[in-house]
């Protein structure tokens, strides 16, 4: 039971008016009197029998990330080879090649770690 | 199978609460079983996404209120009168014991209870719901706010307004009854 008058703003007024307070208490008592509905004896079992079937849980994990990494590694390797062939000696190509090489190493390392379950 | 058995236990543990809340929110025993079943089926469907940020009881109140709202909408569509709580010959008021009161007082209390029920149904849906959850179900402001998805301040406002309306309606009703009695006596 909430310990609160039905009209808290008028508490002092209610205290001076026993009839009003009594009336408030009757309302609260009526509100707090919960109905007692008749529940069928087999209600819980009936609900359980109506439960929809759960969709089967997928146990095969998806490997989208791993596949993307593999593709990325191959693409980087090809790019490295392509850049290595002309060997123009331009500084920009050297920088790009270094970046791609670093990326290739990172991907190869990530794949190795993932493969051996060290992550 | 195990899930069904566990859920059956959940139903058994909460069925009283769901039935009495729905009964008072809808004001009718009509389709009460179906509505309660709908509440539990919705709970079952929602369980995979239930994150446990609230008690399952509080979550159930939320679903029960939604089901009651759908029922009110359905009734508005059907535009048909519903059976009052007190129309039922096996009304719950009759089964409430008053061992320390005489028959006249019991009758008076029963009539008053009936008047409260009738006036409760005259309130707006949200006011009625908040009054039922607060007084009958003894929920806190926070729990009611969660169940109705509204700020606590709004819950307080509706609660205060609902009580005021109920009080005024009952006082007005009593005044009218007294006048009618005086007229009959003269």
Residue B5 sits at the chain A interface (C-beta within 8 Å): yes
What is residue A69's predicted lDDT score, i.e. its pLDDT?
83
Measured between beta carbons, the chain A residues lying within 8 angstroms of B5 are 48
Least confident of A80-94, B55-69, B90-104, B116-130: B90-104
More confident residue, A116 or A47: A47
Report chain A's mean pLDDT, rounded to a whole number.
76
Chain A residues bordering chain B (beta-carbon distance below 8 Å)? 1-2, 6-7, 9, 23-24, 26-28, 30-40, 43-52, 54
**Fold type of domain B1-84:** Rna Polymerase Sigma Factor; Chain: A (1.10.1740)
Q: In chain B, which residue's Cα lies nearest the Cα of A32?
A: B136
Residue B166 sits at the chain A interface (C-beta within 8 Å): yes
Residue B134: pLDDT above 60? yes
Alpha-carbon dihedral of residues B148, B151, B157, B162, nearest 10 degrees?
A: 0
- Complex ipTM: 0.74
DSSP-based three-state secondary structure for B110: helix
pLDDT tens-digit series, residues B64-85: 999 999 998 888 887 655 555 5
More confident residue, A3 or A34: A34
Q: Mean of the pLDDT values across residues A89-116?
A: 79
What is residue B22's predicted lDDT score, i.e. its pLDDT?
94
Residue B138: pLDDT above 80? yes
Of B33, B164, B171, the CB nearest to A43: B33
Residue B15 sits at the chain A interface (C-beta within 8 Å): yes
pLDDT tens-digit series, residues B26-64: 888 888 999 999 999 999 988 877 766 567 888 899 999
What is residue A20's predicted lDDT score, i.e. its pLDDT?
78
Q: How many CB pairs under 8 A join A and B?
A: 97
Phi-psi region of A5 (alpha: psi -120 to 50; beta: other; left: phi over 0): beta
Closest CA to B43 of B24, B19, B67, B20: B67
Q: Where are the domains of chain B?
A: 1-84, 101-186
Residue B110: pLDDT above 90? no
Query: Read out DSSP for chain A?
Result: -----S-GGGHHHHHH-HHHHHHHHHHHHHHHS---PPPPTTHHHHHHHTPPPPPPPP-S---HHHHHHHHHHHHHHHHHHHHHTT----HHHHHHHHHHHHHHHHHHHHHHHHHTT--
Q: Mean of the pLDDT values across residues B116-120?
A: 90
Contact B162, B128 (CB under 8 A): yes
Residue B122: pLDDT above 60? yes
The verdict on a CB contact (< 8 Å) between A48 and B92 is no
What is residue B89's predicted lDDT score, i.e. its pLDDT?
42
The verdict on a CB contact (< 8 Å) between B44 and A46 is no
Q: In chain B, which residue's Cα lies nearest the Cα of A2?
A: B138
pLDDT tens-digit series, residues A40-85: 999 999 999 988 876 655 556 667 777 888 888 889 888 888 877 7
Calculate what percentage of chain B has a pLDDT beyond 70.
Answer: 81
Calculate what percentage of chain B has a pLDDT beyond 90.
Answer: 45
Query: What are the residue ranges of helices labelled H in chain B?
Result: 2-26, 32-46, 56-78, 103-122, 125-131, 141-148, 152-185
What is residue B3's predicted lDDT score, i.e. its pLDDT?
59
Alpha-carbon distance of B45 to A11, in angstroms, equals 46
Residue identified by tokens 């009052």 is B84
Report residue B102's pLDDT band, with 50, 70 and 90 as the boundaries: confident
What number of other Cβ atoms are within 10 A of residue B180's Cβ?
10
Residue B133 sits at the chain A interface (C-beta within 8 Å): no
Integer angstrom CA distances of residue A22 from A6, A17, A29: 11, 9, 10
Does domain B101-186 fall under CATH 1.10.238.10? My reply is no
Exposed, middle or buried, B151 (CB in 10 Å: 0-12/13-18/19+)? Answer: exposed
pTM assigned to the model: 0.64
Report chain B's mean pLDDT, rounded to a whole number.
83
Q: Mean of the pLDDT values across residues B110-127?
A: 90
- How close, in Å, is residue B19 to chain A by CA atoms? 6
What number of other Cβ atoms are within 10 A of residue B53's Cβ?
8
Measured between beta carbons, the chain B residues lying within 8 angstroms of A47 are 7-8, 11, 37, 40-41
Report residue B94's pLDDT band, with 50, 70 and 90 as the boundaries: low
Of B33, B45, B137, the CB nearest to A40: B33
B72: tokens are: 């009110």
More confident residue, B55 or A37: A37
């Amino acid at each position: 039971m909430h310990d609160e008058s039905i009209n808290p703003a008028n508490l002092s007024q209610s205290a001076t008016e026993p009839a009003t307070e009594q009336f408030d208490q009757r309302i609260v008592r009526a509100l707090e009197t919960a109905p007692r509905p008749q529940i069928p004896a087999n209600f819980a079992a009936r609900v359980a029998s109506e439960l929809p079937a759960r969709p089967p849980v997928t146990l095969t994990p998806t490997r989208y990330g791993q596949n993307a990494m593999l593709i990325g590694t191959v693409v980087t390797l090809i790019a490295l080879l392509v850049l290595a062939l002309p060997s123009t000696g331009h500084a920009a190509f050297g920088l790009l090649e270094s970046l791609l090489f670093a990326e290739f190493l990172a991907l190869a390392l990530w794949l190795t770690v993932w493969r051996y379950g060290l992550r | 199978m195990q899930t069904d058995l566990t859920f059956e236990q959940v139903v058994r543990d909460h069925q009283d609460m769901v039935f009495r809340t729905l009964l008072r929110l809808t004001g009718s025993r009509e389709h009460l079983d179906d509505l309660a079943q709908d509440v539990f089926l919705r709970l079952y469907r929602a369980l995979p996404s239930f994150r446990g940020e609230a008690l399952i009881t509080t979550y159930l109140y939320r679903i029960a209120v939604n089901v009651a709202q759908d029922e009110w909408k359905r009734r508005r569509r059907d535009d048909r009168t519903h059976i009052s709580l007190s129309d039922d010959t096996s009304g719950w008021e009759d089964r409430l014991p008053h061992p320390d009161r005489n028959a006249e007082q019991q009758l008076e209390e029963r009539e008053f209870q009936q008047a409260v029920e009738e006036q409760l149904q005259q309130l707006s849906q949200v006011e009625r719901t908040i009054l039922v959850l607060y007084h009958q179900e003894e929920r806190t402001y926070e729990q009611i706010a969660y169940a109705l998805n509204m700020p606590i301040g709004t819950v307080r406002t509706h609660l205060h307004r609902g009580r005021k309306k109920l009080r005024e309606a009952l006082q007005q009703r009593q005044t009218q009854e007294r006048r009618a009695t005086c007229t009959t006596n003269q």
